[in-house]
Structures are given as C-alpha cells and as structure tokens.
C-alpha cells in the first residue's frame, strides 16, 4: 500500500509550524529511519518531522488532519512487524521528546516523554529507589512511546504484566490534532471508558503517544537464578505451577529452551558454555526475587528440592554470583542471534494457553515435519505467558533459498495449529505491516469490523498509520 | 430520563424468543430488581428478561437492536450509582447464567458465566487450589458480569489490581445482537485493539457481558494482619512505601481510618472494641501475605520495628489468630454502617495521587468547614490506591434534614478539591445515573466527545443503558 505524497504547500506549512530543527528532508539523515533493522522493509517519506514538544506534535498533526495527509509515528524503530516504516506517509519521530517530567516515589509513579528509551526510563526509576520492570532485548533503543503503542512484553511479564498493565496515565495527540491530557497518577478512576487502554497497543493508528505516567515497584532485596534440565516441555508447565506456589508469585522469569536452541548458542556464540553437567532435551531458566534478604535463594532451594523429589527436573545449577547469572541469561538472550548462521528461519511469536504448551509443541512440530520433512525446530520463550518463539530452520544440508522461499506457507502451517489452540499469532510483537492481512484468517468478522468502526470514530480520515491494522 | 415503552408486538417477540422461564412481567418478581439497595432509585420496566444462555441473550438483544428498544443489563444489583436500574428500558438480568465453564489450574485461569456471584467465583478458585483476589463487601450478591462492567475495586487492588487487571478473556453480546467470542486464556495477544478492555468498566453501555475468563493466583502460605496507630495521615503514606519495600510488594491491604470513623464503629456497632491501648488520630490496618510459611509474620514484625524506630507509628497490635484478624477487619468493614445512626451523610468515592493524600484531606476538610461549619468528617479507604471514602456527617446537634438538603452543593465542594489534585470523583463505583452529568465538570470536551464517538460506533441506536455515561 502506497500513500500519495502531500502537496508542496502542505510540506511548507509543516516546516513553518515546526521551525528549524523540527523537520528534515535530508536523505542521509532520514535514511536510518526508513529501514527496519533486520532489513525486511525499506520505506520512503517526503519529510521527517521531529517535534520537540506535545504542542509541536499537535500542531503538525492538526495540519495533516485538515489536509488528510497520512502520518507514520516512529519511536526507536525496533519493531519487528514494520509498523514504524512509512511508505509515502509523513514520518513523525518522537526522538526529541525525551524529558523525565517527574518521578514521585511515594506514588510509585513517574511521568516520562515518549522519546525516552526504555533503558533510560528504567534508570530514572532506579535513581529514585524504585524499579520499572518492562525489559526486552532492544531496550537501549526502544522508546516509551513505542513500547506503549505496541503493548510490549519481554521477560518480566509473568510477574509484572505487559506494558498495558504498567501505564497509569497517558498523553497523546489525537488524529484531529487535539491533545488528550490523561497523565493521571491514579490507581483507580472509573469515570467512563478507559481511553488510555484503547491507545495502548494501537500501533500508532489512534494517535501519537507523547508522554506517559508509568507504574513503579519496590526494588527487590534478593534474587536467585537457576538453569534446570527437564525431560519434557510438559514438565516445565508443572514446574512453573510449583514455582508460583512456592514463592507466592515471586517468579520473575521462567524461560523455556529446547536442546537444539541451546546447541546452536553453544556452537555459534563465542564464550558460552553448557550450564549443566548433563544435556537434557529441555532447559528452563528460572529467576526468583523477594523483598526479604536471602528470601529468593531460600525459595529457589526449596523449589528445586521439591522438583527433584517429584521427578520434574533431572538436573539444576544455581548461579553463585552476578557473572554466573549473566552467563545463564546470555544463553537465553542469544537464542535469536544463534539461528542466523544456520541460514535463517521461519520465525513465529505465538501464544497458547500455558496448560497446552507441550501438546501444542508436539502438534505443531508434527505439522511442520509433514510440510517440510527434516526441518529443525527451535522453541524458546516465556512459559509463564504461554508465549513461544517457535522458529524453524532448514534441515542440515537442505537447500536454504528453497527453504526460505516456503516461509509464507510454512508460517501458515504453524499459525493454523495456533488457531486450533485458541492461541495468538502475535503474542507480543503486534501486527504492523507484516501480519495485518494474515490475522484476518484467525479473527471473526465481528472483531475486525468492530475495530474498524472504533478507528473510523477516532480517525475518520484514516490518517494515522493507514497501512497498519484494520 | 425516561425511555419510551416497547410495543406489545416487540414484547411478544421477546417472550417467544426466550420461552417460558426466560422472562416475567409479574410485578412481585420484578420489584426487587427495580430498587437500589440503599433506596436511592426505584425504576420501572415493561419486562424482565432472564436468558439462560449467551445464545438466548443474543436473540433478545438482536430483537431490541432491530426495533431500537433500550435495554438495561443487570447483575447482582449492588451498584451504588444507579446504573442497574431501568426507567422504562427492558431489564435484562444475567442471574440465570451461572455456570463455572472450566477451571484450568495450570493456566491459572477459570471461565465463569456472568451471573455467578463474586463469592462463588472465589470459591470455585479455592476449590481448584488457586486464589481469585477481587474482594468487596457485596461479594455475596455482586456478579462477575457486574464487577466486570463496573471495573470493581475493593480491598485487594494494591497487590492484584482492579477487575480490569484480572480478566484474560471475555464473551459479550454486542449491541447489534452478535456474540463477541473472546474467551481466550492467553496472557499475551497483540492482534489489534483490546476490545475486552473497552467493555470492562463500560457500565453496560457497549454490550452485555455473558462470561469471562479470570486470572487466578497461587494461594499464599502465610498471612499477617496488624492495626497500627499514627499521628498523621502523611505518616501512613510513608509507612506504605516502607511496607512495600520491606515485603517486595507483598502488602495485600493497607486501609486508613480516621479516629472519628473508629469512634462511630465502637459506638454504633455491637461487639467491637478498641484495637490499640492508645487512641491515635489515625489508624491503618495492614495485611501482608507471603508464599513462605511464617514469611508474612516475619515481614510484619520487621516492618513494625522499623516503623517504630522511624517514628512513623505510635502503637501497633498484630492479630494473634483468625478471630482477632476478623475482629480487626470488622472495624474497617463496618465504617459505612456506623455512619447511618448519625443521620446519614454526604458520601464520596474519590481518588488522588497517593503522595498527596494528606494534603488533600487537609484542604478538603478546610473547604467543607468553610461551607458547612461544624460538619464532621470520616475518612477511610485504600491508601495504596489513593482511594478515599470521604464522608461528611452533620455536626453534633445540627439540623439533619437541612444538612442532607445541602448534599449536592457540599459534594461539589469536595469534588472541586479533588479536581485540583488531578483526582477522580469516582474511583471505584462508576458514574451510572448518579454522576454522569456531574463528571462533565471535570473532564475535557475531547474526552467526553471521544467516548461518545466510540459509543456511537458500537451502538449507533444507543439501546444499551442509554441514560448512563456519554
């Protein structure tokens, strides 16, 4: 889908509205913002707007609204589904709105602007003696506006929830150019529809998020990390239930890894080593945190003891220091990078009910084997969220380009199994340009039409990220 | 606002669609459903529909949609703002849809129908070895559909969130009579706008909730309850921050009470006694829960020790057994009932940022004293949510009817102060018939108009609870 270019007069008006430093048409400056970081999309835009305030953002959007000119909002550009790449739309970057407006520890709240990176937001919380839990691989570049607009997930969702659960208040420029001033620090406010919940995860289609008030948490006083070996994926689900009970909800991360993925990390990533003495079919990385000094370690030991007794795990190693903790986490975090030297793969970000994870893995793997015999399957992900990164690699010695060429059909094989499990074909990455069409196969006409009607109500000219969503 | 009565032909069609047992026009059967339990509203309806399934509900709504006949959905009828009382609308009760459709402990999820009471839902979770945390005084009557439609709060919000945070999936009959089948058990699903979040808290204006998949939690293994005395409300806010840090987020309840409220409980409620040896100006009831046996008691003792040392509290009593725990909780729960014998009062369910609670109480109290000298003020509520039940009683010896007559103006005095604190005039009760007009004073035209546009998009004929919201 291509969006027609705005007229020179409109471009002039946008330039005048934002003034020097508020826009650029320099191809070299714009170029990095047009390419998705995995080189899957390269877009184009007549102009890059970089407003420095909510008011400047509102001014620009108002002009576009009046003229029916389309806008693609962009944060850190780390999205994985192409939602941030313009194809003819005006590109509006929040990168110059980076203030920490306030931090109030007694409210467990802080208000930050959309262009602040997730890492900087975490650091601002820590500096105030609090913890902001959302954490993901791209946090050094991903921005608050972006993680809100995509309802980002990551590794701490099990205990703290998705970004949707971490936003107390929101400020946004609506598609008509008006400012929604919803930066409340309230925990309870039942006065009509929750507009901020509608904007969270809307992928920039209902407005431009300019600032948010985020929920903070106490800093934990003890933390324990272990890697355990299991015979089956089903055992990991039982182990999770046991871990939640044993800690009273104190599990911060619970990451499943299949032997193949571990082998590829050990093979392709330097300075990694087997975490266990054995080589089990499945691994889980468990992180427990507690408010009591020594509490997490005690809970981890109690958990592993029970798990051994019940035959849920076959091996375990508890990290003895920070370096070992980091080494364990690295084994999990390098799973994506470790696939690349194998010739790339068909990647899937799916979720299913936790209780059905093992069954799903078996059924999907059988379907993939029927579709492309010999393909290798790496499974890793957040068991506590039912969220698996289910990646398919060419078999050893198979023709890689031929394999890559079957990506679309192969993905549908996996997604169709997800569909029969009442799962989601985009657990945490969103739909963007990549999956908007495909998802229609798995959603009811009622859902699609209701979303489209809501969008028409808020953005009747469909100027906000027009190629994304319904 | 009065809704015109449906024609006899439409009533006949509704009767035929639901069949015997699915409707009644017997005034005696209908009467209890027409009166709000505090006798603030008494409505009327041409017919009470009691569908036994989602499909029957859809059939009834489809007929009303075609004919433009208005519907008021009703759950347990315990709402405090009149949203469940029809004034001419068809009354649709979910009381006959009461199944627990499934409980899957490994998913920490259960699916129940809208007419199940909150208490029954809690019991179904407990029977499966899990915990459903939402808890409020009316839980024996309040239904799941009702607590979802009003985004109910209660005493456990601090740790577990509002109802909005506890719903994984939703089934609802939309205003066109179609069924939204969103009963997913997923923790992550980023595939478009979150329709369930829009329906939660919509007070029955966007559809009829028929079933929901709820989030369950592990059962805690230790629990400690204490009542402490404090010199100021400000100290309670500091104490809360300390309690969160000391427990790593394990505080389940943190309830502030002013001396006046405590005095009225001791005076007007039988079998209650002073919890402390002293009579401080402010009290807090603290409940801590932990996954470790003995953990909650240890954390409570550590907390109170630090709090004494830092001068945050002046007195404390830890409950030694279940009976004492219940007695402490009763002092808090009887606060509303204890006001009645004093001649009633102006009641407010407000929220402000936690850090500003003490300042708010001072400023609001000064404003009330200026408006009605001598009025007595009871303040109690959920400090952790910034949610205060701020109730004003006539002064001793004052003319009670004259005082009651000033309710509307007096409330505005309080709400105007709430407004200047960026607070909410309905923290957990919703707007209903009571506050829909008043709230417009505190919301921007953009917010009101956006909500109205969303509603028109989903319910163009405005048949769902037409007098409620915007």
Domain boundaries, chain B: 8-96, 100-215, 222-336, 343-428
DSSP string of B10-25, one letter each residue: HHHHHHHHH-TTSEE-
Q: Do B107 and A384 touch (CB under 8 A)?
A: no
For helices A407-420 and A432-439, what crossing angle results, to 10°? 60
Q: Which residues are paired to B172 by β-bridges?
A: B180, B209
CA distance B182 to chain A (A): 9
Of B388, B424, B419, B394, residue with least CA distance to B407 = B394
Q: Do B351 and A187 touch (CB under 8 A)?
A: yes
Q: Which of B131, B191, B198, B352 to mutate to test the interface with A (most CBs of A within 10 A)?
A: B191
In terms of Cβ atoms closer than 10 Å to its own Cβ (0-12, 13-18, 19+), residue B42 is exposed
B222-336 — its CATH code? 3.30.70.2190
Q: Do A192 and B444 touch (CB under 8 A)?
A: no
Q: Are A409 and A375 in contact (CB under 8 A)?
A: no
ipTM: 0.96
CA distance B331 to chain A (A): 23
Q: Do A424 and B451 touch (CB under 8 A)?
A: no
Which chain A residue lies closest to B289 (C-alpha atoms)?
A: A248
Q: Do B191 and A431 touch (CB under 8 A)?
A: yes
* CATH 3.30.70.2740 describes domain A343-428: yes
Which chain B residue lies closest to A245 (C-alpha atoms)?
A: B218
For helices A54-67 and A8-18, what crossing angle results, to 10°? 160
As given in the structure block, the two tokens for residue A149 are 């607009």
At residue B80, the 3 state secondary structure works out as: coil
CB-closest option in A182, A188, A426 to B351: A188
CA B157 to chain centre: 10
CB-closest option in A153, A241, A424 to B105: A241
Using CA atoms in the order A62, A66, A71, A74, what is the torsion angle rounded to 10 degrees? 0
For chain B, what percent of residues have pLDDT higher than 90? Answer: 96
How far apart are the C-alpha atoms of A269 and A341, rounded to whole Å? Answer: 10
How far apart are the C-alpha atoms of A248 and A263, rounded to whole Å? Answer: 33
Q: Do B186 and A352 touch (CB under 8 A)?
A: yes
- The answer for residues whose C-beta is within 8 angstroms of residue A324's C-beta and 6 or more apart is A225
- Using an 8 Å CB-CB cutoff, list chain B residues near A427: 186, 188-190
CA A463 to chain centre: 25
CA distance A24 to chain B (A): 31
Q: What is the pLDDT of residue B3?
A: 72
A222-332 — its CATH code? 3.30.70.2190
- The answer for residues whose C-beta is within 8 angstroms of residue B128's C-beta and 6 or more apart is B103, B105, B110, B216
Q: Do B469 and A193 touch (CB under 8 A)?
A: yes
Confirm whether B222-336 and B343-428 share one CATH topology. yes
Q: What is the pLDDT of residue A1?
A: 53
Q: Do A431 and B387 touch (CB under 8 A)?
A: no
Which ranges in B372-430 belong to alpha helices (H)?
A: 400-405, 407-420
Q: Do A450 and B151 touch (CB under 8 A)?
A: no
Distances (CA, A) of B48 to A334, B45, B69, B80: 60, 7, 14, 21
Which one-letter DSSP state was computed for residue B82? S
Distances (CA, A) of A365 to A301, A412, A415, B188: 34, 13, 12, 22
Per-residue pLDDT of chain B (470 residues; tens, 9 = 90+): 567 789 999 999 999 999 999 999 999 999 999 998 888 899 999 999 999 999 999 999 999 999 999 999 999 999 999 999 999 999 999 999 999 999 999 999 999 999 999 999 999 999 999 999 999 989 999 999 999 999 999 889 999 999 999 999 999 999 999 999 999 999 999 999 999 999 999 999 999 999 999 999 999 999 999 999 999 999 999 999 999 999 999 999 999 999 999 999 999 999 999 999 999 999 999 999 999 999 999 999 999 999 999 999 999 999 999 999 999 999 999 998 999 899 888 999 999 999 999 999 999 999 999 999 999 999 999 999 999 999 999 999 999 999 999 999 999 999 999 999 999 999 999 999 999 999 999 999 999 999 999 999 999 999 999 999 99
Q: Do A295 and B298 touch (CB under 8 A)?
A: no
Work out how many CB contacts closer than 8 A connect A with B: 294
How far apart are the C-alpha atoms of A43 and A26, rounded to whole Å? Answer: 15
CA distance A238 to chain B (A): 7
CA distance B448 to chain A (A): 9
- Using an 8 Å CB-CB cutoff, list chain B residues near A298: 292
Q: Do B192 and A431 touch (CB under 8 A)?
A: yes
Q: Which helix (H) or strand (E) holds A362?
A: helix A357-371
- Using an 8 Å CB-CB cutoff, list chain B residues near A219: 245
Q: What is the pLDDT of residue B2?
A: 60
Q: Do A190 and B435 touch (CB under 8 A)?
A: no
* CATH 3.30.470.10 describes domain A8-96: no
- Using an 8 Å CB-CB cutoff, list chain B residues near A191: 424-426, 430-431, 435, 439, 442-443
Which chain B residue lies closest to A423 (C-alpha atoms)?
A: B186
Q: Do A153 and B219 touch (CB under 8 A)?
A: no
Distances (CA, A) of A105 to A219, B160, B241, B353, B354: 12, 20, 8, 11, 10
Q: Which of B126, B151, B248 to mutate to test the interface with A (most CBs of A within 10 A)?
A: B248
Which one-letter DSSP state was computed for residue B116? S
How far apart are the C-alpha atoms of B298 and B305, rounded to whole Å? Answer: 11
CB-closest option in B190, B246, B291 to A249: B291
Q: Which of A165, A175, A188, A301 to mutate to test the interface with B (most CBs of B within 10 A)?
A: A188
Q: Which of A248, A351, A354 to mutate to test the interface with B (most CBs of B within 10 A)?
A: A248
How far apart are the C-alpha atoms of A111 and A242, rounded to whole Å? Answer: 37
Q: Are A458 and A207 in contact (CB under 8 A)?
A: yes
Owner of token pair 């007694």: A106
B279 C-beta neighbours (distance < 10 Å), count: 13
- Using an 8 Å CB-CB cutoff, list chain B residues near A457: 453-454, 456-457
Q: Do A426 and B241 touch (CB under 8 A)?
A: no
Q: Are A130 and A219 in contact (CB under 8 A)?
A: yes
Q: Do B291 and A179 touch (CB under 8 A)?
A: no
Quote helix, strand, coil % in chain B, to nearest 5.
40, 20, 40
The CATH number corresponding to B100-215 among 3.40.47.10, 3.30.420.10, 3.40.50.300, 3.30.465.10 equals 3.30.465.10
Q: Where are the beta strands (DSSP E) in B177-219?
A: 179-182, 208-215
Show the low-confidence residues of chain A (pLDDT under 50).
none
Of A126, A141, A202, residue with least CA distance to A170 = A202
- Using an 8 Å CB-CB cutoff, list chain A residues near B194: 151, 164, 197-198, 200-201
How far apart are the C-alpha atoms of B186 and B81, rounded to whole Å? Answer: 33
């Amino acid at each position: 889908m291509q969006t027609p270019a705005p007229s020179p007069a409109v471009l002039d008006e946008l330039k005048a509205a934002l003034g020097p430093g508020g826009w650029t048409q320099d191809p070299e400056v714009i170029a990095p913002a047009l390419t998705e970081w995995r080189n899957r999309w390269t877009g184009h835009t007549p102009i890059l707007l970089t407003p420095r305030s909510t008011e400047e953002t509102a001014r620009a959007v108002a002009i576009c609204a009046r003229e029916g000119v389309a806008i693609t909002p962009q944060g850190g550009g780390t999205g994985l589904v192409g939602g941030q790449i313009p194809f003819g739309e005006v590109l509006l970057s929040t990168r110059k709105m980076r203030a920490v407006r306030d931090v109030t520890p007694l409210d467990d709240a802080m208000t930050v602007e959309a262009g602040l990176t997730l890492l900087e937001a975490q650091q601002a919380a820590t500096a105030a003696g609090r913890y902001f839990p959302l954490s993901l691989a791209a946090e050094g570049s991903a921005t608050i506006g972006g993680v809100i607009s995509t309802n980002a997930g990551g590794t701490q969702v099990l205990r703290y929830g998705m970004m949707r659960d971490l936003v107390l208040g929101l400020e946004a420029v609506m598609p008509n150019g008006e400012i929604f001033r919803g930066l409340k620090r309230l925990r309870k406010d039942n006065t009509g529809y929750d507009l901020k919940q509608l904007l969270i995860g809307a992928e920039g289609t209902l407005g431009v998020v300019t600032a948010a008030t985020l929920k903070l948490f106490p800093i934990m006083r003890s933390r324990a990390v272990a890697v355990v070996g299991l015979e089956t994926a089903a055992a990991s689900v039982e182990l999770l239930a046991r871990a939640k009970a044993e800690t009273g909800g104190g599990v911060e991360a619970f990451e499943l890894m299949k032997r193949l993925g571990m082998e590829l990390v050990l093979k392709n990533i330097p300075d990694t080593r087997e975490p266990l003495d054995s080589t089990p079919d499945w691994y889980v990385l468990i992180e427990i945190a507690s408010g009591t000094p020594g509490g997490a370690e005690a809970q981890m030991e109690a958990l592993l003891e029970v798990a051994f007794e019940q035959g849920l795990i076959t091996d375990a190693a508890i990290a003895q220091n920070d370096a070992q903790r980091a080494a364990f986490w690295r084994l999990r975090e390098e799973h994506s990078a470790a696939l690349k030297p194998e010739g790339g793969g068909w990647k899937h970000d799916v979720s299913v009910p936790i209780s059905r994870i093992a069954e799903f893995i078996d059924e999907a793997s059988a379907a993939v084997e029927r579709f492309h015999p010999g393909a290798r399957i790496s499974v890793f992900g957040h068991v506590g969220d039912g969220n698996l990164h289910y990646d398919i690699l060419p078999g050893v010695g198979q023709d890689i380009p031929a394999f890559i060429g079957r990506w679309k059909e192969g993905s549908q094989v996996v997604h169709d199994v997800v569909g029969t499990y009442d799962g989601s074909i985009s657990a945490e990455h969103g739909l963007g340009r990549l999956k908007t069409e495909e998802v229609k196969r798995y959603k009811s006409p009622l859902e699609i039409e209701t979303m489209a009607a809501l969008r028409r109500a808020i953005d009747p000219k469909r100027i906000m990220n027009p190629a994304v969503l319904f």
